[in-house]
Amino acid sequence: MGVGTSLRRLGLGYPEILLSMACFLFLFLRHGRRGSRLPTKWPVLGMIPGFVSQSTWCFHDWTTEVLRESGCTFFFKGPWCSGMDILGTSDPANIRYIFNANFANYPKGGQFLEIFDILGDGIFNADSDSWKTQRKVANSRMPRFWRFVARVSREKVEKVLIPLLARAAEHAAVVDLQDVFLRFTFDTTCNLVFGVDPGCLSPDLPSVPFANALDDAEEVLFFRQAVPMGWWKLLRWLQVGEEKKMVLASETICNFITGRISERMDEVAKVRQDKEVPMRLEVQLDAGRKRHLSTRQVDPVVFGADDLSSAIYLEAALFESLRLFPPVPFEHNGAARPDVLPSGHKVDPKAKIVIPLYVMARVEGIWGKDCCDDWKLKHEPLYKFLSFNSGPRICLGKDMAFTQLKVVAANLLHKFHITVVKGHVEVPSLSIILHMKHGLRVNVEKRV
């Protein structure tokens, strides 16, 4: 008598049998290997059952435990013919080799371009000559652009951000500081790129479809890297599920960008028609901002970029925050040709290479138990601190972005006492950008 016949005599049909088997498999995966976070490799399914059972609640923490237990490098075997074989490594020697010593063999690659198709063929997706040309052009314009960014950011802090938090303090209102900073970044970026201010930091904190679309796109891009390529491509063809969300997000993003381009072209045409000297970009931005500035008296910025060059403690705190919570929690590469990493692991061109920045910050073998060094900043190589990438692809705006961080942080900390709301839960979201799933709810008080 078969097991299936016996179970059916007990009143269990095939749906119940399958459900029981699924529950058994789930419990085995959760508790069958006590003390180990390494996923089991199953026939056909590979390691995907362990990934599903362990990572859905705390993906970043689970990945950290896997790489700790495996000695900083782990080969994840995906389901048969899924194209989901992934080599994850947080080994600084491997990272230095990939990003520096053998950079030419580790381009973004065609698979990366397919996943991040929403970024087009710009510098983030480009390889080879296209990447070199775009980087050269961007680098040549960086000094002038940096001066422009410094001025725009300072004005935004002084005229919008500080008054916004001052109002919150007056009314004892709880503020989602993550949302505020995202709005600040979005406003300043639109100023710099499009010459318009969308007013995300207006007193009523309006909903911004373009910003919401970017959030949706980031979540879909994470989803694409967590499932077989054939699966998300099928969803895209059917326009359902996550890929339906990407279609809607792409339409919103494209409509916003084309609208801003059209507005700028109309402005230029009007200037030429009036036979005036074409306005410089800075003047156009000033005109665009005035529609959204508060009529209240603004509180002047105390600290500018030049005032913070010796702010060692602030700089250390920001670096430590970026190390523990990198804006981009993982990097994605591929090998053009078969290779062997310094750790001895073989690299197949068909496999993805994932470098989890979030994990690297939590490996004692890399950073040690004590991060202090006689109360001085300890300079580490960028292949250990990847928040701004490393090697030839290092972020061109690294110094500019960090100075902007210091200006915002110094002025807010000088003017306000900011505390996290008691009981607020801080959990990382599943996205290609590291956000807090529930935001960062804080109380704001003016310093006397």
Instruction: Report if residue 249 sits inside a domain.
Output: no
Q: Which amino acid is at 100?
A: N
292 has a pLDDT exceeding 50: no
Number of structural domains (the chain) is 1
Give me the percent of the chain exceeding a pLDDT of 70.
83
For 224-278, the pLDDT digits (tens) are 988 888 889 999 999 999 999 999 999 999 998 888 888 878 877 887 776 554 4
Instruction: Report if residue 345 sits inside a domain.
Output: yes
For 173-187, the pLDDT digits (tens) are 999 999 999 999 888
Instruction: Report if residue 229 sits inside a domain.
Output: no
Instruction: Report if residue 126 sits inside a domain.
Output: no
Judging by DSSP bridges, how do beta strands 352-356 and 330-334 pair with one another?
Answer: antiparallel
Whole-angstrom Cα distance, residue 191 to residue 187? Answer: 6
For 15-39, the pLDDT digits (tens) are 544 554 455 455 444 544 455 678 8
pLDDT of residue 396: 84
- Residue-number span of the structural domain to which 385 is assigned: 33-108+149-206+289-446
424 has a pLDDT exceeding 50: yes
Contact, 159 vs 298, CB < 8 A?
yes
Instruction: Report if residue 386 sits inside a domain.
Output: yes
Whole-angstrom Cα distance, residue 409 to residue 402? Answer: 11
Is there a binding annotation on residue 81? no
Taking each helix axis as running N to C, give the angle between helix 177-194 and helix 281-289, from 0 to 180 degrees, rounded to the nearest 10.
140
* pTM for this predicted structure: 0.78
pLDDT of residue 56: 53
For 385-397, the pLDDT digits (tens) are 888 888 898 888 8
End-to-end CA distance of the chain: 83
Contact, 371 vs 363, CB < 8 A?
no
Instruction: Report if residue 189 sits inside a domain.
Output: yes
pLDDT of residue 261: 83
Taken in order 194, 199, 205, 209, is the CA torsion positive or negative?
A: negative
- Three-state DSSP class for 155? helix
CATH number for 420: 1.10.630.10
Instruction: Report if residue 220 sits inside a domain.
Output: no
Instruction: Report if residue 319 sits inside a domain.
Output: yes
